[in-house]
Homo-oligomer: A and B are copies of this chain.
Amino acid sequence: MTKGVTITVQTQGFSDIVNITEQVQTAVTQSNIEDGIVSITAMGSTASITTIEFEPALVLDMQELLNTLVPETIRSRHSETWGDDNGFSHMRATLMGPGITMPFDHGKLLTGTWQQIVVIDHDNRPRNRQIRIQVLG
């Protein structure tokens, strides 16, 4: 059994981190599937899905880490070739991957106490991001 829904999330880019835990829980609830997994995927090549303790200090830490590992100013043949200046966005997204799966039980996500599900939008401009939430059980 499977039920899927595509949501749109407004993001600001530059590894903006948006909490979508509530939308994922709603998709699980509305699927009427009791036990299983939910697959959450960014439909695009410059965003990632992961989990984090979603609080402002750690959000800044994570953005700073990404800018250390893959700086906005990193040399990019992609940016040079296509002139869209978002080579760093693509590299961050490919490094982190496009999605995760999370388990649920009795209709409730099995996240840790401080663990939220987030989109990280690495692109270099605001986007309306399509995220697929596919529930299976």
Contact = CB atoms under 8 A, between A and B. Distances in A.
Interface of A: 2, 4, 6, 35-37, 39, 41-45, 50-53, 55, 57-58, 60-62, 64-65, 69-70, 74-78, 80-82, 87, 90-91, 93-103, 105, 110-116, 130, 132, 134, 136-137
Contacts of A134: 35-37, 103
A51 B98 contact: yes
A98 B100 contact: yes
B103 A101 contact: no
Q: How many identical subunits does the complex contain?
A: 3
A133 to B, nearest CB: 8
Contacts of A105: 4
14 contacts: A2-B35, A4-B35, A6-B110, A37-B101, A41-B103, A43-B112, A53-B90, A55-B81, A58-B77, A95-B96, A97-B97, A99-B100, A101-B101, A112-B130
A42 B58 CA distance: 19
Given A53-B45, A90-B58, A96 B99 contact: no
A30 to B, nearest CB: 15
A110 B37 contact: no
Contact of A136 (B36, B58, B70, B100): B36
B98 A50 contact: yes
